[in-house]
Amino acid sequence: MSPLRTLTRLSCPDLLSVQDLSPAEVEGILDLAGLVKSRPEEFRSALAGRHLVLIFEKPSLRTRVTFEVGMADLGGRALFIDQTHAPLGGREKLCDIARNLERWVDGIVLRTFTHQTVSEMAAHAAIPVINGLSDREHPCQALGDYFTLQERFTDLRRVKLAFVGDGNNVCHSLLLTAALLGSHIAVATPPGYEPAREIVAAAADAATRTGAHLELTHDWQAAVTGADAVYTDVWASMGQESEAEQRRAVFAPYQVNEGLMARAAPHAVFLHCLPAHRGEEVTDAVIDSPQSGVYDQAENRLHVQKAILLLLLGNGQRRTARLRGARG
């Protein structure tokens, strides 16, 4: 029997945030990603006839290629709209864009500067919307990262991930994912650069139900000590270029170098969502070392996103009737 017959859709019609998922759904995505990775031939036509549109306000390598290859591998097709020249909603209202797209395609992936754009598109589109990155979260990245950790360590409840750097969108999604999986995460940021309070509160609430262990500190050395994985990201994200010089001075002590990695467990893996600013948040000696898992992460984005596409687009059901009824 095909494994597709055993799958169910996600309870939420979109994936805008890790908060849209239950603990069981996060585990289910990771398990399905493993199945897709190990038995790709069984999914070759799973999304035959489906179309996915990618609309990106920001440049992309990994997100674009993995979604395009993922759709092709599943028998569907991806279309790309380059929106880097102007933000969405400038030439045409988002509600009108959404209502056009829902007539042509089966799903939308957005990579935007503001999370509000993703939320507004989902509110108006009668097809699934996937957050391919916003200023608030990067859910596909975090799910791919924890799939990578599961491959290495099997039991995520026994894994400690140390995130060192800016409490940004990637940090937010990692916190929420760790909380839902009952895992251990320690986040070390400079004062004033902590993750958003509402994200921390949501993660803490989930942790009370799953037994996850969440630490927030300014002590990067304490965060990394004994960690199974050490994660960092750029100090100035896209859209923060004007702050880059100031941030370099503030974040310099938080660089992941050989000395910091030595505080982690001997088997520790180094992770980075890429692209990396070598010589800033991480040294060449670390990112190019045998401990580095950054290219495993990049590969696993493909498999996790295939799982997400299968769960959101797999049975072809749309929300059109419900939303049109709500519009009156």
Catalytic annotation present for 324: no
Catalytic annotation present for 141: yes
The active-site residue out of 83, 106, 272, 273 is 273
CA distances in angstroms from 293 to 120, 148, 152, 229, 290, listed in the order given: 35, 8, 10, 9, 8
CA dist., res. 175 & res. 181, Å (int): 10
Catalytic annotation present for 233: yes
3-state secondary structure of 9: coil
The active-site residue out of 141, 255, 291, 297 is 141
CA dist., res. 305 & res. 143, Å (int): 9
Q: Comparing 126-135, 274-283, 306-315, which segment has the lowest mean pLDDT?
A: 306-315
CA dist., res. 194 & res. 264, Å (int): 22
| CATH among 3.90.76.10, 3.40.50.150, 3.10.150.10, 3.40.50.1370 for 3-137+300-320 | 3.40.50.1370
The active-site residue out of 111, 115, 136, 272 is 111
Which pLDDT belongs to residue 90? 84
**pLDDT tens digits, one per residue of 88-123:** 988 899 999 999 999 999 999 999 999 999 999 999
Asked if the domains 3-137+300-320 and 141-298 are classified in one and the same CATH topology, the answer is yes
CB-based contact 170:157 (threshold 8 Å): no
More confident residue, 236 or 4: 236
Domain ranges of the chain: 3-137+300-320, 141-298
Assigned token pair, 69: 């290859």
Which CATH superfamily groups domain 141-298?
Aspartate/ornithine carbamoyltransferase (3.40.50.1370)
How many residues appear in the chain?
328
Amino acid letter at 98? A
CB-based contact 174:157 (threshold 8 Å): no
The active-site residue out of 136, 138, 247, 303 is 138
CA dist., res. 78 & res. 84, Å (int): 18
**pLDDT tens digits, one per residue of 235-279:** 987 667 788 889 999 999 999 999 999 999 999 999 999 999 999
Q: What is the DSSP letter of 221?
A: H
The active-site residue out of 115, 150, 233, 303 is 233
Catalytic annotation present for 240: no
Catalytic annotation present for 51: no
* pLDDT higher than 80, residue 50: yes
CA distances in angstroms from 184 to 136, 218, 226, 227, listed in the order given: 21, 17, 12, 9
The active-site residue out of 50, 272, 301, 303 is 301
- The C-alpha angle 100, 129, 175, rounded to 5 degrees, equals 160
Catalytic annotation present for 301: yes
Whole-prediction pTM: 0.94
Binned at pLDDT 50, 70 and 90, residue 324 comes out as: very low
Which pLDDT belongs to residue 8? 64
Which pLDDT belongs to residue 294? 98
